[in-house]
Amino acid sequence: MTDLPGRENDPNENPFAMFGNPEQMAQAMRQFADMLSAPQGSGPVNWDMAKNIARHAVVAEGDPSVMEGERRQIIDALSLADLWLNEATTLPSGVSAPQAWSRSEWIENTIPVWRKLCEPIAERMVETMGGTLGGAGLPPEAQQMAGPLMGMLKQMGGMMVGQQIGQALGTLAREVIGTTDIGLPLSDTAALLPGGIASFSEGLEVPSDEIRLYLALREAAHHRLFQHVPWLRSHLLGAVEEYAKGITVDTSALEEQIRGLDINNPQAIQEALSGGNLLKPEETERQKAALARLETMLALVEGWVATVVDRAAQGKLPSAGALAETVRRRRATGGPAELTFGTLVGLELRPRRLREAGTLWRALESARGVDGRDALWGHPDLMPTAEDLDDPDAFVRGETAWDISQLDAKPDTGSDTGSDTGPDAKPDDEGDRG
C-alpha cells in the first residue's frame, strides 16, 4: 500500500496513520488482543474488572477485615438506633439484618446499583470512544484492513470506562460510612463501615460510642424511608437516569486527548482517556427538570432524616447537636465523594436546600404531629415542591387535609420521568393543597 498523502501520514495530526503499515497494525492488534484477553460480560462495561480495580484500590490503602468486636458494636448500635426511631416516626423498621462491612464488602454489595446508575453514561462513552478511536480520520483504503481492530478498540473503550468506574468506586469506598451517604439506596441492607466511622471521627472530641450510635440512627432512618415508601427508590434512581440521558461525551476533548498518541501504546491511550472531564450535560429543559426534581427530593430525604434523628436522639445523646452540624456541613458542601460521583454519572449529588427542607419537616411536625408529618410519604403528589421550600410556613398552613384515596392508585414511581407528578410538580387541583 502506498503512503497516504498529506498530514494523514503524520501521527501528530492523525493517530491512525500507522494503519497504512500492515506490520504496525498487526503489532497493534496483538497488543490489544493481549489487553482484551480478560472475559467481557454483557453490556458496555466489564463490571468484574471494575469491581476488582475498586477492591485493589481500597486494599492498597489498607482494608482490614472487620473484627468480631467491631461487628458486634455496629450491629448493637444499629439495633438500638432502630429501637429509638420507633418513638420518632410512624414508618416501621427497615433494619432486618444489620451488618458491619469492610470497604471491599461495601463495593461488593453496592455494585448492582452502581451498574444501574452508571451504564447509561458508560454506554455513551464506549460508543464515542469506539467511533473516535476507530473511525475519525481513518482513510477509506484502510477501513477494510482495520475492521477487526475496530471491534477491539470499542472493547478497549469499555475496559477503559470500567477502569475509571473501578477507580472512582475505590475512592468513594474509602470515604463512605454506610450505604446511604450519598442519599441514594445503594443496598437493601443497613450497614456501617468501621473504617468509615473512624475516618469521620478524626478530630472530633466526642465519645466513639456516641458517634457510632448517631451514625447508626442516620443509617436506620434512611432505610425506613427506602424500605417503606414504595415509590421513593424508583423516583430517585429514575431522576438520575433521566439526567444521564442528556449527558454526552465531549468528542472534541476526546480527540484532543488522543491526538498524537501512538496506537501501539495502549497504556498511553488509557492514561489520556483517564484524565480530564469528558462528560458534558446538554442544557435541555428536560434535563434541568430532572436535576431540580432530584435535588429537591434529596433535600427532602435528608431533611426528614435529620428531623427524625434529632427527635430520636433528644435527651439520649449529649453530642447529637454537634454531630448533626458536622454531618450537615459534610453533606451540604460535598467533597471528594461528590466529585467521585460526578465522574460516575455526570452530576453533583448535593441536597442544596437541606436547611430549608429541615425547617419544613420540623414545622409540619410542630403543626400536625409525627403522624401528620410522615403521612406525606404516602404518595408523591403530597410531597413539598421546590417552591414549597421557599415558603415552608405557607405549605404547612395550606395543607389542611390529604385524602390519598382520591389520588392515583398507582403513584408515579419515577420511571416515566416526563410525567407531571413528583416533588417538583404541582397537583392538577391546587385546591387540594390549599
Domain closes at, from 345, 367, 398: 345
What percentage of residues in the chain have a pLDDT greater than 70?
61
Lowest mean pLDDT among 24-28, 223-227, 279-283, 305-309: 24-28
What value does the mean pLDDT take over residues 34-38?
Answer: 48
341 and 371 both lie in a single domain: no
**pLDDT tens column, 72-106:** 999 999 999 999 999 999 999 999 999 999 999 99
**What pLDDT is recorded for position 200?**
92
Give helix 140-173 / helix 103-134 axis angle, nearest 10°.
160
**What pLDDT is recorded for position 141?**
57
**pLDDT tens column, 350-362:** 667 888 999 999 9
pLDDT(279) > 70: no
pLDDT(412) > 80: no
327 and 231 both lie in a single domain: yes
197 and 229 both lie in a single domain: yes
289 and 323 both lie in a single domain: yes
Neighbours of 162 (CB within 10 A): 27
pLDDT(135) > 60: no
Q: Which residues contact 71 (CB under 8 A, 6 or more apart)?
A: 99, 100
Q: Say if 225 falls within a structural domain.
A: yes
**How does residue 132 score in pLDDT terms, banded at 50, 70 and 90?**
low
pLDDT(18) > 60: no
Cell numbers standing for residue 94: 427497615
Q: Say if 265 falls within a structural domain.
A: no
388 and 243 both lie in a single domain: no
How many domains does the chain contain in total? Answer: 2
Angstrom distance (rounded) from CA 395 to CA 344: 36
What value does the mean pLDDT take over residues 208-212?
Answer: 97
290 and 376 both lie in a single domain: no
243 and 373 both lie in a single domain: no
CA distance readout (Å), 389 to 332, 356, 361? 16, 6, 10
Q: Which span out of 82-91, 126-135, 391-400 was modeled with the highest average pLDDT? A: 82-91
pLDDT(5) > 70: no
Domain closes at, from 293, 322, 345: 345
Q: Say if 154 falls within a structural domain.
A: no
What value does the mean pLDDT take over residues 373-402?
Answer: 86
Query: For 393, which DSSP code?
Result: H
**What pLDDT is recorded for position 14?**
44
247 sits in which H/E element: strand 247-249
Q: Which span out of 148-157, 181-190, 209-218 was modeled with the highest average pLDDT? A: 209-218
**What pLDDT is recorded for position 220?**
98
**What pLDDT is recorded for position 261?**
58
Q: Say if 384 falls within a structural domain.
A: yes
What value does the mean pLDDT take over residues 421-433?
Answer: 43
425 and 296 both lie in a single domain: no
**What pLDDT is recorded for position 116?**
85
Claim: this prediction has a pTM higher than 0.95: no
Domain closes at, from 323, 345, 367: 345
**What pLDDT is recorded for position 23?**
60
330 and 360 both lie in a single domain: no
Q: Which residues contact 112 (CB under 8 A, 6 or more apart)?
A: none
Handedness of CA 403, 408, 413, 418 (dihedral sign): negative
170 and 288 both lie in a single domain: yes
Angstrom distance (rounded) from CA 292 to CA 295: 5
- Cα 174 from chain centroid? 15
Which alpha helices (H) appear in 174-317, and where do they start and end? Answer: 194-201, 208-228, 232-244, 251-258, 266-274, 285-313
Q: Which span out of 1-5, 202-206, 275-279 was modeled with the highest average pLDDT? A: 202-206
**How does residue 157 score in pLDDT terms, banded at 50, 70 and 90?**
low
**What pLDDT is recorded for position 345?**
65
Q: Say if 364 falls within a structural domain.
A: yes
pLDDT: which is higher, 199 or 128: 199
Residue 122 belongs to domain spanning: 47-137+162-248+279-345
Is residue 168 within 8 Å of 279, Cβ to Cβ? no
What value does the mean pLDDT take over residues 33-51?
Answer: 65
Q: Which span out of 107-116, 165-174, 210-219, 385-394 was modeled with the highest average pLDDT? A: 210-219
Q: Say if 79 falls within a structural domain.
A: yes
